[in-house]
Amino acid sequence: MHPFHGAREMAASTTLGKPSPIYVGTCGWDYPDWKPLLYGDFPRGQWLTRYSHRFPAVEVDSSFYRRPRAETYHRWVEATPADFAFALKGHRFVTHVNRLLRSEESLQLQLEDASPLGSKLKAFLWQLPAFFPRDLARLESFAKALAEAKGSARHVLEFRHPSWFDPEVASLLGHYRIGSCQSDAADWPLWDAVTTDLVFVRLHGAEVTYVSSYSENELASWAERIRTWQGEARTVHLYFDNTAGGAAVENALTLLALLPAEGSFG
């Protein structure tokens, strides 16, 4: 039995004195080359269920490109345990086309679409393009729209242009309780700011983006950071996006094994 399964049985709530939740998983699950690692001969329609037996959470990237239908969300809920968590990536129309402008209607539409996920939806990730430099006024307008939007899910911004990496941006995010994504990749720099009680990490592959595997020493370093954040009463999401060849699966399983058994997984 993988160590994670025992940890799920010991999952704790976020009440005072209990460990803050840790959500570790991968960016997506529907990869045919993962069959030998996770799915074997199970039909594709059962892959999410099989995935949820090994991991406490998943980041949904497909919502960046298209709007999932309500029945899709209902199917995901039915396919996963009650304590499973989803992090949903916001649509590129908001982040890449409009670049955070005139976002109120699109935000509300996406929140309404995702409502079937209920309490399983823990976070919305808004990934800004690398060609989008710092615009504090536009960011504050978007932050206000997030604060006024309905729903209990938290919000996280991933910046890829280094002009955003400054204390003023971090302070604005903290004011609106928005997380800053720590995004590790070969193709853009990492900003390690922690702005709220929610920490969100995406590991894309440090040497070759979307491909490179992380060494056990690198994963041990991330595990230590997770323990520190949990000790500070911060909820942690960490997702592996080095999906080529199943590196994300192997890295996520290794990281879970490095985390303390008394940790809270959702």
Range 44-51 average pLDDT:
97
Q: How much of the chain, in percent, has pLDDT values that exceed 70?
A: 91
- Using 50, 70 and 90 to split pLDDT, how confident is the model at 15? very low
Q: Answer whether residue 60 shows pLDDT above 50.
A: yes
Any domain includes 263: no
Range 106-115 average pLDDT:
91
In angstroms, rounded to a whole number, what is the distance separating the alpha carbons of residues 70 and 261? 36
Any domain includes 264: no
| In contact, 62 and 93? CB cutoff 8 Å | no
Range 124-152 average pLDDT:
94
Q: Which residue stretches of 10-157 are H helix?
A: 47-52, 70-79, 92, 104-113, 136-148
152: tokens are 């209990």
Number of domains in the chain: 1
- Using 50, 70 and 90 to split pLDDT, how confident is the model at 1? very low
pLDDT in tens, 141-174: 999 999 988 788 999 999 999 999 999 999 999 9
pLDDT in tens, 226-255: 999 999 999 999 999 999 999 999 999 999
Q: Give the contacts of 74 (CB within 8 A, at least 6 positions apart).
A: 116
Q: Answer whether residue 63 shows pLDDT above 60.
A: yes
Any domain includes 88: yes
In angstroms, rounded to a whole number, what is the distance separating the alpha carbons of residues 192 and 256? 21
The predicted pLDDT at position 262 comes to: 45
The predicted pLDDT at position 149 comes to: 84
CATH classification at residue 77: 3.20.20.410
| In contact, 219 and 259? CB cutoff 8 Å | no
The predicted pLDDT at position 4 comes to: 32
Q: Print the domain residue range for 83.
A: 3-258
The predicted pLDDT at position 169 comes to: 98
Q: Give the contacts of 91 (CB within 8 A, at least 6 positions apart).
A: 63, 64, 65, 67, 106, 110
Q: What is the DSSP letter of 213?
A: P
Residue 252, amino acid: A
